Structure 1
Amino acid sequence: MTRIITLFCIFIAQIGFSQTAESYLEKIRNNEALLTAFFQQMPKGGDLHHHFSGSVYAEPLLERAIAEDFYLNLETMEVSKTKPEKGNWQTFSSLKNNGKLAQYEQQVMQTWSAKDYNGSVPSDDLFFDSFMKFEPTIAGHFAEGMLELKKRAISENVSYIETQLSTIPCDMNISDLTDFNTKLRQAASQKDEKAVLKLLDELYKSIEKKDAKKYAEDFNNNFIAKLHKDLKIDDERFTMRYQNFVLRFMEPVDLFKNLIIAFISSNESKLTAGVNIVSPEHGENSMKDYWLHMVMFKYCHSKFPDVKYTLHAGELTLGLVQPEDLTWHINDAIYVAGANRIGHGVDIAYEANSYDLLKYMSKNNIPIEINLASNEFILKVKENRHPFTLYKEFNVPIVISTDDAGILRSNMTEQYVLLAKRYPDVNYEVIKKYVYNSINYSFIQDESVKKQLIKDLDNRFKIFEAKFSKN
């Protein structure tokens, strides 16, 4: 009997000493403070769905506007370096002199971000409208933002960011090509892909003759490479790469011109990791030209087959658009455009033949970029209304990302806290797989860099998990 008791005590002691990260996570599932401490320290790999301007917090942007004495529109909270002709604009220095600065600082913070959000305006409007309000504070100050993001990433054990840094500046004169806008839309209205591709081929040749390549080269050499090198962004703790992107709301010729330059840039620089398309998916031009945009990506892929691209698709929900408009965006992003990754994908349950689409994504290793905090704030989609479980059930590769942490007042740690708390069937090993997915499915062109990040992740997890084996 004494021996049995002794063996039992030894067994209990061994259990205590063999606690794993997985068993500890299960123990703290319903405690957000404990989950936050856990995930703050856990290696989180990469953030693949990341908008630079929306990821910088509002505080340094506001400080810059005050320091440089910008003009503030007292109705909209938009800022400008020079005083526009229309509107009620005052400099920050005049507001300070009149004792009103603190009042307007608070309003700016609530307009440029989700701080203290109270539902007084639609959340999607606040989110998408904020970019243009603070944009003047970004121009010329990319370096400060990049260093802020790097510092924050290192502090929460994020080793890689794939950010959408900037559109590519281009002053190309395309006034002689505007007739193509009507022609492209007419062909697109008939879903005549052959006619659209023929028009795009004509357009491509014209844009190519206007020296499109020089804009890509200037961007790569004098902006991306210079910033990246001067700031010493890559080191043993952190790596960053850059996605080019185009804006959905532009007219077809303008957008296609920018898309060509974006593909050229990504094709010729190892720092530019692929191409994307942004702006509200439910906007007028976004909806009207969506299929046309997908054919444009298909065309550019035929010209630059080595360039990867991820597409914002299905960032829609019931009520935001008509029900029939929820049925085809992810389908077209994958089957027409040939996207390598999908961003958001919130409307997947409404998509036509969604089971077949999910099976296709799984079979062809097309990851979904899940943005839990973003989808909750912008679309009011969360918990069991969110399609996360649907993607998981069909074994679609999943990566966890932030989207716009600055505007959303969030970070990468919070995404994992939400994941663990809302979906208790997602255990530690699955979460760890998602972390590795964020490197394995990144668009890093240099395989040696990707291998080093994986090796580094192995070491980080080894150190992290050792903390629990010692308890």
Structure 2
Amino acid sequence: MVLRSFLLACSVALVPVATAHAATPNEQATARIFNTVRTDPERLAMFMRQFPKGADLHNHLVGAIYAESYLKWAAQDGLCINTGSNRILPEACATPAKPDQVPATALSHNAQATNSLIDALSMRDFVPTAQDRSGHDHFFATFDKFGPAAERHSGDSLAEAMERAARDHVSYVEFMISPALGGMIGAGFKHPLHNEDFSAAMDGLKAEIPTLVAAARKETDAMEQQAHAVLHCGTAEARPGCAVTVRYLYQTLRVLPPQAVFSQLYAGYEVVKADPRFVGVNFVCPEDDLVAMRDYDLHMRMFHALNAVYPDVKLSLHAGEITPGQVPPEGLDHHIRAAMDEAGAKRIGHGVDVAWEKDPDRLLQDMARKQVMVEINLTSNDVILNIKGKDHPFALYRRAGVPMALSTDDEGVSRGDLTQEYVRAATTWPLSYQEFKTLSRNGLTYAFVPGESLWQGTTLNPACKTENSKSCTDFLAKNEKARLQMALEEKFSNFEAETVKNPLFQN
């Protein structure tokens, strides 16, 4: 029976690796198959594509879209392309056309221009030049270049990302989005922040908050309606992406003056309070930016102050996405610690600089004790920070017992997907099949989706210890997180049953 099988499996999957063992015949056989195919690139990719993945918790929707889609939408909207700067312009080409401008509709007949644009709008085939010197700068420059095509296609973007998640066998995604952000930033500039008097700043902004929240919800409604129409959700022709559970983190920009950062955060917390589709707040933009570095501690105090007013709003914060040499040594010494202790983040995005923080061993102990999960973005850290392979602190977090889950960050710009992240992990570290199941389960365990967990540490919630019991049925009905976790266990059982019968995975 499915329930009995995964009860045994999960009772051992989250214990230290040295004592973990496969629990069912199919799981044992699948673990042996994994050990065989991990050195066979093609079969490993097939295995990991089909492997059930609990969640993608670090995914910027605007960066999840492939350049080809942005160019297609630019053509649909009649936009112009600047071939000199390789960017999409927000309007049609001038008449007569300028020498360095072509209509996006003309790209279908110009392979050279199209390929140059795809390279400029993504990390595809990136090679440093004197004018484009680093992966970091190239990556962050892409967003302005495709921005005009993204503005009117948030629903198309959501549909593309949901469909890719389904193809990757991902159950749940928390997309970072910023609806109505411009109004929130503008409100901040009208209400200066004086001497970190956050209470007074909230009083000044309070009258505008309902309108800003309503605008954010309206934009999100329109995005979802368009996405569901594209995917034919609710019809007999529904695409697989319709089955992916989606929630949102409200993302704010941290490279603006303090009053504009605070207004975004305040409004973002209010959006989470008002709309159950939003399950938390994050903030974005390069961590090494001069403003982001200068105001980092101030931003942590902003979060701390808002947490006192909104204790139920959860935070996943980008922290430690910096490396030695990129910033001075003292710039590396406390960002993860401050995000956890001062801001109260439940999850850390990236966490690459952990070994350079003050007292890293104590920090790792505290992260493990508090169960602060790290969202691991292997491809992103490679192409942006040049952190490759075993240079990544994944093994350090693993040794310290800090929970982790793999995520994509900006899969369109990076030209990847969640399967690629799992393959990278499998080819870099000697992880067991059980450890990959733990990474997958962690995605749902540490998701901000509401409800109690199916698990209490390494044991099943008491309500579900008896198979097919009324108490378990009632528990699952009341707790969305537990329902997603139960569904993942059933997917594992089905995956293992199919894998052991697949002749392509036999020796």
Place the TM-score, normalised by the shorter chain, in its bin.
0.7 to 0.9
Structure 2 CA distance, aligned partners of 1:145 and 1:270?
Answer: 21
**Residue 37 of structure 1: how far off its partner (Å):** 0.7
Q: Indicate which of 416, 423, 426 corresponds to 2:422.
A: 416
1:213 partnered with 2:210: yes
Question: What percent identity do the matched residue pairs reach?
Answer: 32
Structure 2 CA distance, aligned partners of 1:93 and 1:431?
Answer: 43
Structure 1 CA distance, aligned partners of 2:362 and 2:58?
Answer: 25
Moved more, 445-454 or 435-444: 445-454
Aligned partners of 1:19 and 1:468 also within 8 Å: no
Q: 2:445 is aligned with what amino acid?
A: N
**Residue 173 of structure 1: how far off its partner (Å):** 4.5
CA RMSD between the two structures: 2.4
Map of 1:157 onto structure 2: 169
**Residue 387 of structure 1: how far off its partner (Å):** 0.4
**Residue 84 of structure 1: how far off its partner (Å):** 9.8
Q: Map 1:119-198 to 2 at 5 A.
A: 119-120=128-129, 121=132, 122-171=134-183, 172-178=186-192, 180=193, 183-184=194-195, 196=196
Map of 1:10 onto structure 2: none
Matched residue of 1:309: which SS?
Answer: strand
1:30 partnered with 2:39: yes
Q: Indicate which of 343, 360, 363 corresponds to 1:357.
A: 363
Structure 1 CA distance, aligned partners of 2:214 and 2:252?
Answer: 17
Map of 1:262 onto structure 2: 268
Map of 2:489 onto structure 1: 458
Moved more, 200-209 or 428-437: 200-209
Deviations 1:234-262 (A, max 9, x none): 98731111110110111110110011000
Map of 2:101 onto structure 1: 90
Q: Indicate which of 400, 404, 407 corresponds to 1:394.
A: 400
1:57 partnered with 2:66: yes
Map of 2:220 onto structure 1: 224
Structure 2 CA distance, aligned partners of 1:295 and 1:360?
Answer: 20
Q: Map 1:281-300 to 2 at 5 A.
A: 281-300=287-306
**Residue 384 of structure 1: how far off its partner (Å):** 2.2
Map of 1:302 onto structure 2: 308
**Residue 74 of structure 1: how far off its partner (Å):** 2.6
TM-score by length of 2: 0.81
Aligned partners of 2:55 and 2:440 also within 8 Å: yes
Q: 2:120 is aligned with what amino acid?
A: T
Moved more, 358-367 or 24-33: 24-33
- Pair 1:423–1:175, CA change in 2 (3 A): closer
**Residue 223 of structure 1: how far off its partner (Å):** 2.2
Map of 2:448 onto structure 1: 443
Q: Map 1:262-281 to 2 at 5 A.
A: 262-281=268-287
1:71 partnered with 2:80: yes
Q: 2:375 is aligned with what amino acid?
A: E
Aligned partners of 2:256 and 2:291 also within 8 Å: yes
- Pair 1:94–1:413, CA change in 2 (3 A): closer
Structure 2 CA distance, aligned partners of 1:296 and 1:84?
Answer: 44
Aligned partners of 1:70 and 1:80 also within 8 Å: yes
Q: 2:158 is aligned with what amino acid?
A: M
Map of 1:12 onto structure 2: none
Matched residue of 1:459: which SS?
Answer: helix
Structure 2 CA distance, aligned partners of 1:165 and 1:248?
Answer: 14
Matched residue of 1:82: which SS?
Answer: coil
Aligned partners of 2:92 and 2:103 also within 8 Å: no
- Pair 1:359–1:135, CA change in 2 (3 A): same
Aligned partners of 1:19 and 1:469 also within 8 Å: no
Structure 1 CA distance, aligned partners of 2:169 and 2:26?
Answer: 26
- Pair 1:176–1:463, CA change in 2 (3 A): closer
Matched residue of 2:91: which SS?
Answer: coil
Q: Indicate which of 117, 121, 127 corresponds to 1:108.
A: 117
Structure 1 CA distance, aligned partners of 2:99 and 2:59?
Answer: 34
**Residue 423 of structure 1: how far off its partner (Å):** 0.3
Structure 2 CA distance, aligned partners of 1:66 and 1:236?
Answer: 27
- Pair 1:298–1:462, CA change in 2 (3 A): same
Q: Indicate which of 242, 253, 257 corresponds to 1:251.
A: 257
**Residue 460 of structure 1: how far off its partner (Å):** 0.7
Q: Indicate which of 434, 446, 452 corresponds to 2:439.
A: 434
Q: 2:440 is aligned with what amino acid?
A: V
Structure 1 CA distance, aligned partners of 2:113 and 2:166?
Answer: 33
Q: 1:228 is aligned with what amino acid?
A: E
- Pair 1:236–1:114, CA change in 2 (3 A): closer
Q: 1:168 is aligned with what amino acid?
A: A
Matched residue of 1:45: which SS?
Answer: strand
Structure 2 CA distance, aligned partners of 1:430 and 1:363?
Answer: 19
Task: Give ranges in structure 1 of 5+ residues lacking alignment.
Answer: 1-15, 185-195
**Residue 281 of structure 1: how far off its partner (Å):** 0.3
Q: Map 1:364-403 to 2 at 5 A.
A: 364-403=370-409
Structure 2 CA distance, aligned partners of 1:173 and 1:469?
Answer: 58
Map of 2:50 onto structure 1: 41
**Residue 89 of structure 1: how far off its partner (Å):** 5.2
TM-score by length of 1: 0.87
Q: Indicate which of 200, 203, 217 corresponds to 1:202.
A: 200
**Residue 56 of structure 1: how far off its partner (Å):** 0.7
Q: 1:91 is aligned with what amino acid?
A: V
Deviations 1:102-135 (A, max 9, x none): 3221111011001122223210011111011101
Structure 1 CA distance, aligned partners of 2:367 and 2:384?
Answer: 25
